Amino acid sequence: MDINFMKKNDILIAKVKGELDHHTSDIFKESINNEYHKGYKNIILDLKDLNFMDSSGIGMILGRYKMVKDKHGTLAIVGANSQLFKVIELSGILRVINCYKSIEEAINSMQRGI
């Protein structure tokens, strides 16, 4: 798994590549936590290049959602392929986290306070 971070004002954008599973979820969690605590409010998870996610990935995403919510921020998911979207949908994440097709769409939504 590979993670690249981009910054846009108070938004941390994490581009994830590879697989997010029980082997990699702790690495992802530590990386994103370290970056987020540098002063961000919101997180966008770009899953465009993620090709697999299991329940460990779901748990990691929900944990980051709670972390962001505790700072009155927003977490959004973008670029999930149809297989990942189905996992996200079945997990119930869509009840608390919005999914978008693009980073720009997620940023616009965050800036409007949606």
Q: What is the pLDDT of residues 38-89, one digit of tens each?
A: 999 999 999 999 999 999 999 999 999 999 999 999 999 999 999 999 999 9
Q: pTM value?
A: 0.95
CA-angle at 58, arms to 55 and 63, nearest 5°: 125
| CA dist., res. 23 & res. 42, Å (int) | 26
Please tell me what DSSP assigns to residue 97: S
pLDDT digits (tens, 9 = 90+) for 73-83: 999 999 999 99
| CA dist., res. 94 & res. 87, Å (int) | 10
